[in-house]
Each structure stands twice: as C-alpha cells, then as structure tokens.
Structure 1
Amino acid sequence: MGDFKRVIHPTNSQGQVCGRDVPGKPYLFFFDLQSCLILGPALVVTGCPTPQVCVASCPKYYWSWKGPFDQKLQYVRSLMICLGGVDANDPKFANQSIDQLVQDKQCAPYVYHSRSMLGRCIPSQVSQLMGNGTGQVRDETGKPILLMNAKNQVVNGMEVVKSRKLVLEFTTFFEKVVSDLSQTWHVILVCISVSVVLSFCWIVLLRCCASVMVWTTFILFVALFSFGTGFCFYRWSVLRKTTEGSHDLEFSLDIASYFRLASTWLALGIIFAILLVIILLILIFLRKRIRVAIAILNEASKAVSTMTSVLFWPILPFILELIVIAQVLFVAISLRTISDPVGTKIMNDDPTVTPGFGDKARNDIREIFQLIPCDPLQNNSAGKACRFLYYGDRKYTIYLQFFNLFMFFWLINFVKSLTQMTLAGTFAEYYFSSHNQKSASKCPLLTSLFRSTFYHTGSLAFGSFLIALLQWLRVTLEYISAKLKKANNPVTNFLLKCLSCCFWLLEKFLRFLNRNAFIMIAIYGQSFCSASRSALSLLARNVVRLFVVDKVTDFILFIGKLVVVSIVGGMAYVYLEGILFKGNDFLIDAFTSNLHYAFVPLGIIILASYLVASLFASVFEMGVDTIFLCFLEDLEKNDGSAERPYYMSKNLMNILGKRNAQLSQVKQAI
C-alpha cells in the first residue's frame, strides 16, 4: 500500500516528509512566499519555485536580511531560517555572510510571523502585514522592518497575505455558519421530523385523494386549454382587422411587438387547440387505463401503510453505500500515495561551479535546467541541485485507479439492485397473499431480504455489472476525450460524443430492464436472463398501460415532493426570519436567534426535506412498479375460476369487469 503520511504531512524541497523523514520538524516554511502566490493556479503544476524547509515550529517574529541590525551578529543569525531547518549559526554556514547566504539561496531573505495551517507556515498577523501595502512591519521590539526578497524587491504585504486573506475570509464565514447551525440544530431536527410525518401522511392520503388529484388536474388542463384557445382566437380576430396587426412577422428584440401581430395569436391558438384535442382524446380513449393506474396507486399506498417497515428500509442501503464510498476512497488514496518524487533541475548560483558565464547566459541555462526532470532524493550532486515538485504516480497506478472506479460503480449498483429486489419481494408477497393472510410471512421485508441475499446474489451481481460496465465506459470515454482535446480533431470528438450518448441511452434502458427483471425474479425466482425476457415481453404487450401508470405516478410523486418541501420550507422561513413573532420583541428574543446567514439552515432544511420526500417516494414508486407487474401477471395467468382466481383488489376487478368464483371455492382452492 501507499504512504498516507505523504497526503497528511507536507514535504520539503527534497521530497522528504516533515516530521517523519525529518524528525522533530513537522512544519514547512517557505523562503519566499510571495514567489509562490504570484503563480496563482499554475502553482499546482509547476510547484512553488522557492526553497521549502522543515522546521520545528512556525516563527513568531519578523526579520529581514536588509536590517537594520541593532543586536549582536550571533543573535541576528539565529533569527534566520536556512536549508535543513537550521539557523545561520550552524557550522556549515559559519564562513558565509548574511548577504552571501541569502543570495546563494541558502537562507530565507525574510521571516514572517506565522501560524500552522495543515502543517504549512502561513502569515498569521494579517492586519499588520496588510498595513498600507508597503511591506513595512514591526519586529518584536516594535521597530519597523522592511521585508525584502533576495532580489532587493520589497515584499508587498498585500501579495504575501492574498491567499491567507481568502482563507481567513472563508474561515470567518465557516465559523459564522457553524454558529448559526449550533443555534438552529433543534429547528433542523424538528423540520426533518415534520417532513417524515408529512411524507408518510401523503402516502396514506393517496388511498383516497389520488383519484381526486388526477381527475382535478385533467379538468383544470381542459379548462386552461379551452380558455387559452378561445382567448387566442379572439385576439386574432380583433388584430387581423387592424393595420398594425396585419403586418408580416419580422425578427425583433422587442418581445411585446410579437403580441401585437395577429399571426402570433393565430399560432398560439392553434397550439392550444392541439393540446386541448390531445387531452380530450386521452380522456376519451384512455379513461379506463387512467382508472387502472389510479387503482394501482391506491393499492401501493395501502401496501405501504400496511407494511410501514418498508419506509425505514432505505436506511440500510444508505449505510451500505457510505461503506462502499469509504472503502473506494481508502483504496484511491492508497493508490495515489504509491508514487515517486518528481522534480526539476535547478542551477547552482555559485560562480565557482559555472565559471566564465555572464548573468544572461546563466539565466538561459537556468531556464533550460528547469525543463529537465530529476529525482530530488538522489544522494549525489545532481540530487542536491534538484527541486522537489510533487509526488507523481507510477505508470501502473492509473490502471488500478480505473479498476477501483469500476468496482465503485459495481458495488453501488449492487446495493441499489439489492434494494429494488428486496422491496419487490415485499410488495409481491403483499399482492399475492391478499386473499389468504395466513400464507403471508410475519416480517415480509426481512424474508424478502433473506431470499434476495441467499438465492439471487448472482442475478444481482450480473445486473449491476452490466450497468457498472456502461458507466465505466462512459467515464473512460470522457477521460479519453479530455486527453484528445488538445488535438482539436472534430471527427474524433464527434465520434466520442456519439459513443457517450449511445452508452447513456443503453444505460437508461438497462436500468429500466433490471428494475422489472428483479420484480420478476422476486415473484418467480427465475434467473436474470429469463426474468428480463419475461418482463420485457410482458411490458411490450401492455405498453399503453405502462405509459399511463408511469406518467400518473410521476405526477403524483412530483406533487407530493412539492407539497412536503413547500410546507416545511415555508414553516422554517417563517420561524427563522421571525415573521411569526413580528411586533413582539419578547417572543422574538425567546424563540428566534440572531443568525448571520439564515439561508444556510433554511437551505439545509429544504434539502433535507426533499431527500426525505424522495426516499419515501422511491419506496412508493417501487411499490407501484411491483404491483403493476403483479397485476399484469395476474391478468394474463388467471381467469377468475376456483383453480386460478384473481389476486387483484375488488376495485381493479370492477374497473376491468372481472370477477372471481364464489369466495368459498376460492378459499378452498388456495
């Protein structure tokens, strides 16, 4: 496995981990922090061009190599930070002056008061450093010091603390957010609890309100499109008689000008008329199927309210998905730390090393050296002149990362497949045991989980493997597309986009097929391929019913989510903004808090309520799909006789004009 300390701890210019490879020195100090900040985002690629050393602690003082120095020379040299994390009094620097040490990049040209952040020494006294932007600060005795780098350039305080300022601003924002959340955590919990209650009540109310909501919606659509059609043709008849309204249609940025033309209203009237005709045709020819869809929604609502344990089922898959994500991240980080140090050669500025070269020639050679890769850990002269940039992956780790990504897709889809089959088995048992409750298990959810885990693991693995493979191929294509973007080949880009689109469509189809195949497996215990073929042929024979049930379910669930989020979000907004207690200072102080950012807890409440409603909706949607497939199987395999009675509810039988034999005969047959 890799070395996790490379991720947690900083590394110096030689690629050594501070605190481990350099014992007793866990912090990283930058010789010239300004040179790092100037690079901006390019810093990630090029690395910081200044020497970086491990130190025992971040300095708590200011010092500049340009002085003035009123203290003894030994004390002044003790304030310097040099290579190896030592001061200038170290024996190896004894024969060099302060100017020589700075010019040869053996020691930092200035030292800044700093604090540790993720093991890096970052300027801490922002207000003092900012000053008037001149780079002048004061040492521990109060004397002014002008910070200057090795090139005799003034270090502007604004530049030095640019990144630190952003970090501090974010830290301040984060602290305020934490303060707001600490004051409103009880409100958040109450609102989440309310969203749970509302979601459950919504599913229960569907037993009696689904029909009303669907038919009311159709009536409103008919009324809306009828009014729209009549109004548009009325405006058309009025405007066509005027001079302005009879003008030809011309392009204009003035949107209002289009509504002064008769042709605009004629087009709108035709569109509204077409939509009205479509709605009326649906009501005339699909009326019976809409009633069946509503009855199936009622049955699913009844099943959920009878087996309330299914509403808490999403908790287990959620925990399993968190475990999968944690495992995949652990492996990804482990692979990332299997790496070698990468550096670039730097030119030694000592004139004795490169005699006879002028300044321009030395600069040209220095630029060439920076393009040469090297190993900063080599114990030779080349290694000493090699600056560490980052830890680069070994060539084989990219393939392992892709395999890890594939396993992530496979495991996540396996958990989702297990969820679907477990719920399908639970609802299928409810449907087929409706005439004989004694045949039903005491805990259908656990029974279905047991069957899915011990008898259908192979089907779950195979179905999830197919989806994971397509997802992995799509990600791989995106990776290849990003790599080939520099080539700017339109034909290649077009082909990659087409392949990605095809894989996306195929993935959507496989998700639909898997979902229904797992329902058939839960009913009959078939293999994955047999169940897929049976489910696909069954749905193909009932494609209109499938469309109607799917759209009616989507509409009902959308309304449910909208109602839950609106009620909970509205309650939270009224409370957090103090609108409920407006005009009463005592109640405002007692029941509300002075928040910095009220939108943060409000956003969390809205998001949490939507997630809760979505979890309930996912269970209900699986119940609808399962009961719908059970209904189709019941309709095709049974005829209502004593030997083969219908298992559907009386409401469904009445809608379809079906009926069973005498109840006593049915019970005997069962």
Structure 2
Amino acid sequence: MFNKDANCNSNPILRIVCVEKCPDPDNGEPWSVTKAKQRGDNEETIKRVLVCKYGVDKSKFTVDQLVEPKRQLCASYILPAKTKNVSKWKWRRNPVKNVKSIIASRCIPKLANIDEFVRTEGMDKGTLQLGVDYIIQFFNAKENMEYVFEDLRASWVFILGLLVVGAIASLIWICLMRCFAGIMVWLSLLGMIVVLSFCCYFSVTRYHELKSVNDTGEFSRAANPEFFVSEEELKEQLDTYLKLQTTWLVFAIITGTLLGILLLIVLFLRSRLFIAVALIKQGARAVSDMSFTLVWPLVPWVMQVAVIGWFLLVGLYLATASEKVYNVTRNCTCNGVEFIENQRCEPERFNKTIQKCLEACQDSACAFQQFQKLQNGLWFHLYNFFGLLWLLCFVNDMGDMVLAGCFAGWYWTLNRSKNLSTFPVGSSFLRTARYHLGTLAFGSLIISIIKFIRYFLEYVDYKTRQYQDNPVAKAVMWCMKCCFWCLEKFMKFINRNAYIMVAVYGKNFCTSARDSFFLLMRNALRAFVLDKVTDFLLFMGKLVITGGVAIGSFFLFTHSIGDGVNDTIPQLNFYLIPVIIVTIGTYFIASLFFSVYDMAVDTLFLCFLEDCERNDGSAEKPYYMPKELMQVLNKKNKPPSANGKEE
C-alpha cells in the first residue's frame, strides 16, 4: 500500500498500516483510486475498499481528502500480497484496536506489479524500488526478532535438553573409542577410500560423457550470476555448472589426489598407524581414569568470559573518559616565563609560578574551560586490546598445561591401579599455579604479540584497501599476513608441546620448547601420522554427534516424530532458529570434550617418544608405556620383581 508524500520533495514513500488481513482487491489485481474513478465507481464503493489508519472516520471526508498526501489518512494504491498468519503472541501484545499506525510487514507486497503502479501514479521506479527495499528490510528485521525471541521463550527447555543429549553423546563416543578405537579408525579409513574411489570414478565417467558438450557460453552465464537470485535461478545455475566438462575434471583431479595420498599413507605407514591406534586407545583410557578432566575445560572458559567482560568494561570506561582543560585568562610574564591568553595550562604549576609575581599577574589565572576526550585515548585502547589478547592466551595455555600435567602423571605412573593420584586435576592445577605461571606468561606473550601484529595488519589493509592500486603493495600485504598467520600456527604448535615437556620435567619454557621440537623432528613420520589420524577421528566424532543431534532437533521442531510427542512441542514461527542454536551449541560442547581427548593423545605421544629414547626395559630403566604399546612395538620389561608389578 503506497501513498505519495508531497512534503518530501515529491519523493514517493511507503505508508503501511496495520490491518487484520491483507486486502485482495479486484480478484488479486492492483487497485488504485485513479483506476476506480476511471472505471466509474462511486465514492461509497471506493471508500469501502480503502485501507486507512485506525480511527479514521471515512464518512467525514471525501475520497480525495482521504488519499491526500498531506493528510496521509488512507492508501491511494493497493497491491495484493501473499500473507502469512501473524502469531497470536504478536496480536495479544499489539491488538489492532490499540494501535494507530503499526507497520505490518506481513502485508508488504512483492512488487510484482510495480510497473502498473509507476505507470498509474507517475513515480520514479528506481527511487520507489530502493525505498521499498530499505523499509521492508528494516521492519522485517524488527518484527522477525520479536518472533525469534518468542520462539526461544517457548522452546528453551527443548534446546537445553538437546544440548544435554549432545554432551552425553560426546561422553559415549569417547568411551567407545576406548574399546573400539582400532575398528573405528580402520573402518573410517576404508570408508574414505571407498567414497573417494567412487567419487573419482563417477567424475571421470561424467567427464568423458560431456566431452562433446560446448560449455563456453554456459560457463560464462553461470559464472556471472546476478547479485540477487531466486531459488529457481540458483538451481538453474547449479545445473549449468554440473553440465560443464571442466567441473567434473576438477572433481576428478581433487578426489584422485586425495585418494592417492590416502592409499600411500595406508600402504607405507601402516606400522605407524598401529602405533597411532594404540595411542588413541590409551588416550581414551586415560580420560576415563581421570573423568574430571572432561569438566576442566569449563574453568578456562569461564575465566575467558570474565576476561572479555573486563575488557568491555575497561573499553567502555575509556570511551567515556574525559579530562579537564584549563586555559590562561590573561597575558602574564613572570621571571621570564610568559603566559599567553587562552594557552593551555596546569593549575598547580601556574599557581606555583605566579606566586613570585603576584602583583604583575594578579589579573591572570588558570581557569577551567571544558571537558575533552583523553589525548592518549587511542594508546589506552590499544593497551587494553593487547591485554585482552595476552590474558586470553594465558588462560587457554594454563588449561592446556593443567591437562598435560594430569596425563603426563598418568603415563609416568608405573602401577596405575594403585599409585595414581586421587585428585590429578587439582594437583596439576596447584603445581602449575605455584611453579609455572612465569612460563605460561612468557609463552602466551609470544602468541599475543604475533596476534596483535596480525590484527594490526588486517586493520591497515582494511583502511588502505580503496587506495591499493599498486599490485606490488597488495602482494606485499598479502605475504605479510600469510607469514604471520603461519608463524602463529607454528608457535602454537611449539607452545603446546613445550607445555607438555614443562609438565613432565619442570624446566623453563625455552629449554622445554627446544627439547620437544627436536624430539618430534626425530620422529617426524610418527608425529605426522598420529596428528592426522587423531584429527580425522575427532572430526568424524564431532560430525557424527553434531549431525545426529541437529537432525533430531530438526525432526523435533518440525513435528515429524509422532503424534504423542508432537503435542508437547510448541508451534514456532522460525523452527530453523532453535535448530541452528542446537547445532552450534552441540558442536561447541563436543569440541570441549574432544579438546581434552586431543590433549591426552598429544601428551601421551610425547611421553611415549621420551620413554622409548631414555628407557630400554631393563631393571634400572623400565618402560612406563602400557602393555598394548609394548605389544605393538615388540618390547617388554625384564622380569625382575624389583621393577614392580606392571599394568
């Protein structure tokens, strides 16, 4: 529904009023006062069709007065629209009878007949379309947020329950990995080989089938879509891409390369895969023996939330902080010191100086003028931001070191059934807080400096992007950002392993980082295989858990489970919002649990390498590794009872 506002330089604007249902005049055709008069309708017929603001008495005005732009009482033009029922919650809080002029985005037309409106009313089509788009987006966002909050209020219990299901599923997955780690790893590898083989075969087959297809015109059409596309146009573009010979050639090359790498790993590194599987099983066993380690990640998370809150509080204080400005009121010279009128001054220094010349400077003073923002405010903000990065890295590294201490203590305990610490997490935390805070501060400082430089480069790139016409400057900026990104990843790898060695030996950061790095370099293939196998297995676990809970939540909120259950599920306006929240929350919870497992495997791996290098299984230097690892490596401790009973 539109009206023309003569008070806005004759630019058309929307006047949308709240009605109980969207109009459908003339059997779905556009209706306007101009067309009605041309058709010969009388004023009473036109008034019945008019949609007006609440409280407008149509009998007191003529049709021309009702649609007059200055009055803006009724809409002079109406477009039919497909509507969606407004929820009871909306109308319970905003009933039509209590609202004089409420925007009803549910009655906004799709502008399919905009050309008819432009022709009959004589308006500029581009201006009208732009105004319609902005207004529709604004009020749709405002009203949709109300629906979202209502959906969350009605479904928060189910969301919380599904997140608990995700946490339980993560625990079950870790327990399954203890018993079936080998089966899960080999089945996953076999499944990936089968899937990649089929994808490669299918891509090559399609490539040969499409050899005779001329894809030049189709490719140019698909590669340059319009900015806004409909669902049908998107499907058409996807179909166009899938009919291109080049597309299937790219698929074949990618899947073939991945398949070749995977086959080489399985064929030539199978012995190391057995070690990786054994370490993964022992990691699950260590987590099961120290179950409180699964809860520990919540502690660093809460601390990081507190750090972010403190950062926001300090940032808000700095943004609103100001300082007093004092100026000299009159010219004055005292003992060679000249004070100029309106010059900045400090009251204490000024008063101390003019005490020697009270007669000459009796009319001069250092008076308050105004408040202004802090001159060094930018530096304070940068300092606050750097502190945020440092504290976040510090808290995260502290969580890693506490877990490393737990799992290192588990590995280096010869008789784990009797001599394992009663409170391993508490003991590791106290040991870290007493001896290793300096190590954590130094290691986290390195990462925070690299992060700060990376963010500074991103800021500079953002500010100068519109002026970067020189390709050399663009290449240099890109290389700098890439180098610092790689440096950050490398230093995180060094720090993580250094903290494990600190937890084992208690040495300083630099010594531990050097020892762990060379230890891994001497066993590079083992480290590579274990890291990739563990990452793949954890990714599969996250994918299965998150996907399963997400699918279950989708069926739950779409009332697709059963009649008995559907009666208890609330009707939602946007059922995808709870599904998205559940999916993201489940992935976050699964990541918390699996981060503990990942740290366990990394710690046990370094301890295993150190055990292999410094021990030989003799009475003086027995192996501390579990029996499963000894069997994989064909190692065993010598039988003297002085070694103690091995597990």
Query: Which band: TM-score by shorter chain?
Result: 0.5 to 0.7
Distance 2:433 2:99 in 1: 59
Partner letter of residue 143 of structure 2?
A: T
| Counterpart contact for 2:196–2:255, Cα < 8 Å | yes
Aligned to 2:55: none
Are 2:319 and 1:336 aligned?
yes
For residues 434-458 of structure 1, the C-alpha deviation after alignment (integer angstroms, 9 at most, x for no partner) is 4354443210101000111110000
Distance 1:496 1:272 in 2: 33
Deviates more, 1:656-665 or 1:520-529: 656-665
Are 2:424 and 1:444 aligned?
yes
Deviation at 1:231, TM superposition (A): 7.1
For residues 596-628 of structure 1, the C-alpha deviation after alignment (integer angstroms, 9 at most, x for no partner) is 221122211111111110100111111111011
Are 2:446 and 1:469 aligned?
no
Deviation at 1:187, TM superposition (A): 0.8
Distance 2:506 2:559 in 1: 57
Distance 1:501 1:609 in 2: 32
| Counterpart contact for 1:643–1:669, Cα < 8 Å | no
Task: Determine helix, strand or coil for the equivalent of 2:644.
Answer: helix
5+ residue gaps, structure 1, are 1-32, 39-124, 132-158, 342-390
Deviation at 1:643, TM superposition (A): 0.9
Alignment of 1:245-264 (within 5 A): 253=219
5+ residue gaps, structure 2, are 1-6, 13-97, 105-129, 220-239, 325-370
For residues 138-166 of structure 1, the C-alpha deviation after alignment (integer angstroms, 9 at most, x for no partner) is xxxxxxxxxxxxxxxxxxxxx99999997
Aligned to 2:524: 543
Distance 1:518 1:563 in 2: 31
Are 2:476 and 1:495 aligned?
yes
Deviation at 1:257, TM superposition (A): 6.3
CA spacing shift, 1:473–1:256, aligned 2, 3 Å = closer
Are 2:278 and 1:295 aligned?
yes
Partner letter of residue 151 of structure 2?
A: D
Aligned to 1:220: 191
Distance 2:155 2:251 in 1: 50
Aligned to 1:480: 460
Distance 1:404 1:270 in 2: 48
Alignment of 1:344-359 (within 5 A): none
For residues 174-205 of structure 1, the C-alpha deviation after alignment (integer angstroms, 9 at most, x for no partner) is 33222222221211121111111100000010
CA spacing shift, 1:453–1:264, aligned 2, 3 Å = closer
| Counterpart contact for 2:402–2:425, Cα < 8 Å | yes
Q: What TM-score, normalized by structure 2, do the two folds share?
A: 0.64
Deviation at 1:281, TM superposition (A): 3.0
CA spacing shift, 1:281–1:472, aligned 2, 3 Å = closer
Deviation at 1:258, TM superposition (A): 5.5
Are 2:427 and 1:454 aligned?
no
Aligned to 1:415: 395
Distance 1:509 1:578 in 2: 48
- Give the alignment partner of residue 311 of structure 1, picking from 276, 291, 294: 294
Are 2:187 and 1:209 aligned?
no
Aligned to 2:566: 588
Distance 1:282 1:129 in 2: 65
| Counterpart contact for 2:410–2:416, Cα < 8 Å | no
Deviation at 1:640, TM superposition (A): 0.6
CA spacing shift, 1:507–1:234, aligned 2, 3 Å = closer
Partner letter of residue 503 of structure 1?
A: F
Task: Determine helix, strand or coil for the equivalent of 2:561.
Answer: helix
Deviation at 1:667, TM superposition (A): 1.0
Task: Determine helix, strand or coil for the equivalent of 1:409.
Answer: helix
Q: What TM-score, normalized by structure 1, do the two folds share?
A: 0.62
The structure whose residues are more often helix, as a share, is: 2
Alignment of 1:571-582 (within 5 A): 571-581=552-562
Task: Determine helix, strand or coil for the equivalent of 2:431.
Answer: helix
CA spacing shift, 1:662–1:413, aligned 2, 3 Å = same
| Counterpart contact for 2:103–2:139, Cα < 8 Å | no
Are 2:605 and 1:628 aligned?
yes
| Counterpart contact for 2:204–2:248, Cα < 8 Å | no
For residues 102-133 of structure 1, the C-alpha deviation after alignment (integer angstroms, 9 at most, x for no partner) is xxxxxxxxxxxxxxxxxxxxxxx9844889xx
For residues 242-271 of structure 1, the C-alpha deviation after alignment (integer angstroms, 9 at most, x for no partner) is xx9589998962656655x9x988x98787
Aligned to 1:24: none
Distance 1:169 1:453 in 2: 52
Are 2:633 and 1:662 aligned?
no
Distance 2:503 2:319 in 1: 41
- Give the alignment partner of residue 520 of structure 1, picking from 501, 523, 540: 501
| Counterpart contact for 2:242–2:248, Cα < 8 Å | no
Distance 1:604 1:497 in 2: 35
Are 2:624 and 1:653 aligned?
no
Percentage of pairs with the same residue: 37
CA RMSD of aligned residues (A): 3.9
Deviation at 1:656, TM superposition (A): 0.8
Partner letter of residue 581 of structure 2?
A: I
- How many aligned residue pairs are there? 464
CA spacing shift, 1:626–1:252, aligned 2, 3 Å = same
Task: Determine helix, strand or coil for the equivalent of 1:509.
Answer: helix
| Counterpart contact for 2:414–2:646, Cα < 8 Å | no
| Counterpart contact for 1:435–1:647, Cα < 8 Å | no
Aligned to 2:143: 172
